[in-house]
Structures are given as structure tokens and as C-alpha cells.
């Protein structure tokens, strides 16, 4: 055998050995794992952010035409996050700009990945799988802030929730919309956010922020099947009040 040929074979073997060692080191030494499908969890239909101890979080993302739920996630710096991802309708992509997080959202399957957000900043979430007309508008946002800002944000959210409850009492929302699941004059607020609702015209909508805002501002536009129109007064709320009442409704699971 030619000497050069021999050398090349040795170099190739050495390179393969180095690559194998690097893969082992990444997997065992650094604990880096590929995103996997999570066989033991059943698909979910609403997004959720669960704060655990030690700066650990579980974020449940639902992808659907054409939004991510939750649309915005706020996390403190150095948050260790387990991301669980499912889709409601068709395949979607899930790419977090500025990180190596890149998943597919597949209906009926839960895919998961782990990430540690070391630096504060804005991390847009984009769908990179063509999923229909408004694919290009399918955006989410992960905002990573320092710990003081995070505390401030949490306080503000808690404030919004209690203000939202107050508005609900003062503007008499609570007179028709129960919070315990009782459905009488109007749909209950309990479990409202994130659910799929049938309308009088037979179509189905997902109760997200957009739908809630529309239904508060123009109550007669979409009537939930089984209910009468002209029952809900058009009582204008400011943008801030809308935010507060939506944050409140979200807590009623």
C-alpha cells in the first residue's frame, strides 16, 4: 500500500475516534441531550408556565394556526427550563432565535427540550414549518430579565390578577360569569382560557387573548352555542383593564 494512502487511513481513523470521544463527552460529560419526544406525557391543549424550585421552570407550549400559547413567557436570568411542546392542528416549527432550541410541534405528540437562559434579552419564537396562510405571523416571545425585574414583573402580574377580580365584581361580570364552573346566563370563567368553544354558527374558536378582547369589546360578534345574544353590555374597558381582567381569567383553571 502506498505510504500516503496508509497515512490517510490512519488520519481518518484518528478523526473518527476524536469525533466519537467528543460526542461521548458532550452527552455524558456536559449532559447535552437531543430534543426528544416525551412518550409518557399525553398531549395538552393549553399553554402553561410552572415555576419550580431553584430557578427551574416547566413551560408547556401549544402551537396552533397561527400562534403559540403562551404568547409571551417571562423568565429570570439563568432559568433552567424544560420545554414541552405540542400542536393542536397541523405540524408547526418551534425555533427560539438566539439559542439552539429547535423543535417540531406535532399533533398528538409531546416533544421536549431543556435549555438554560444565561443571558437576559428577548428571544423571539418563530414557526419555521409552513403551516398555512398566516405562517409568517406565527410568533412568540421569551423574555429573560434580571432577578429584580423578574420580581417586579411577578408583583405586577399579581396586582393585575387582583385588579382583574375587582373589575369583574365592579362591572358585574361576575353576576353572569361564574368562577366555579356553573353555567347559567353566560359561560363560566373557570377553565375558559385556552379551551375550544363552539359558536352559534357551528364554528369553533380557541379562547385566547384575542378572542377574549374581541368578546369583551364586541360581545355580539361571536356568541357561544347555547347562549343568547344581546345579554352582555358593551362596557368599554381601557387597555390596562383588559390586561387585568385577562390575567385574572387565566388564573381560573
Give the footprint of ligand CUA on this chain (CB under 6 A).
63, 66, 92-93, 127, 129-131, 135, 138
Least Å distance between CB 97 and ligand CUA? 15
Q: What angle do CA 149, 155, 157 make, to 5 degrees?
A: 100
Cβ closest to ligand CUA, residue 56 vs residue 129: 129
List, in order, residues 6 or more apart from 83 with CB less than 8 Å away: 59, 61, 101, 103, 112, 113, 114, 115
Least Å distance between CB 95 and ligand CUA? 10
Q: 103: which 3 cell numbers?
A: 423543535
Cβ closest to ligand CUA, residue 139 vs residue 185: 139
Least Å distance between CB 36 and ligand CUA? 21
Cβ closest to ligand CUA, residue 43 vs residue 191: 43
Q: 24: which 3 cell numbers?
A: 461521548
Least Å distance between CB 208 and ligand CUA? 15
Measured from the Cβ of residue 251, the count of other Cβ atoms closer than 10 Å reads 16
- Measured distance CA(38)–CA(41) in Å, rounded: 6
Cα dihedral 172, 175, 181, 184 sign: negative
Least Å distance between CB 72 and ligand CUA? 17
Cβ closest to ligand CUA, residue 11 vs residue 97: 97
Cβ closest to ligand CUA, residue 58 vs residue 129: 129
Cβ closest to ligand CUA, residue 92 vs residue 243: 92
Measured from the Cβ of residue 91, the count of other Cβ atoms closer than 10 Å reads 15
Picking from 193, 15, 38, the residue whose alpha carbon sits closest to that of residue 109 is: 38
**Which residues, listed in sequence order, are joined to residue 199 by a DSSP beta bridge?**
224
Least Å distance between CB 210 and ligand CUA? 16
Main-chain phi, psi angles of 178, to 5 degrees: -75, 165
Helix 209-217 with 239-251: angle, nearest 10 deg:
120
Amino acid at each position: 500500500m502506498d505510504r500516503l494512502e496508509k497515512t490517510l487511513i490512519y488520519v481518518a481513523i484518528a478523526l473518527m475516534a476524536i469525533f466519537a470521544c467528543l460526542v461521548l463527552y458532550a452527552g455524558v460529560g456536559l449532559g447535552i441531550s437531543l430534543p426528544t419526544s416525551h412518550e409518557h406525557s399525553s398531549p395538552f391543549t393549553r399553554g402553561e408556565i410552572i415555576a419550580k424550585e431553584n430557578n427551574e421552570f416547566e413551560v408547556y407550549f401549544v402551537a396552533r394556526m397561527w400562534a403559540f400559547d403562551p404568547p409571551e413567557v417571562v423568565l429570570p436570568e439563568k432559568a433552567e427550563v424544560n420545554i414541552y411542546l405540542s400542536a393542536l392542528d397541523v405540524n408547526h416549527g418551534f425555533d427560539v432565535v438566539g439559542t439552539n432550541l429547535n423543535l417540531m410541534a406535532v399533533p398528538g405528540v409531546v416533544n421536549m427540550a431543556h435549555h438554560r437562559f444565561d443571558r437576559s434579552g428577548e428571544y423571539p419564537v418563530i414557526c419555521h414549518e409552513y403551516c398555512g396562510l398566516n405562517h409568517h405571523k406565527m410568533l412568540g416571545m421569551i423574555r429573560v430579565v434580571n432577578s429584580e425585574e423578574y420580581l417586579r414583573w411577578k408583583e405586577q402580574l399579581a396586582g393585575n390578577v387582583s385588579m382583574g377580580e375587582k373589575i369583574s365584581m365592579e362591572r358585574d361580570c361576575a353576576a353572569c360569569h361564574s368562577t366555579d364552573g356553573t353555567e347559567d346566563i353566560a359561560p363560566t370563567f373557570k377553565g375558559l382560557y385556552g379551551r375550544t368553544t363552539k359558536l352559534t354558527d357551528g364554528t369553533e374558536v380557541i379562547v385566547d387573548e384575542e378572542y377574549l378582547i374581541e368578546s369583551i369589546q364586541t360581545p355580539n360578534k361571536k356568541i357561544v352555542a347555547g347562549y343568547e345574544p344581546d345579554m352582555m353590555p358593551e362596557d368599554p374597558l381601557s387597555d390596562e383593564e383588559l390586561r387585568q381582567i385577562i390575567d385574572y381569567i387565566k388564573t381560573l383553571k
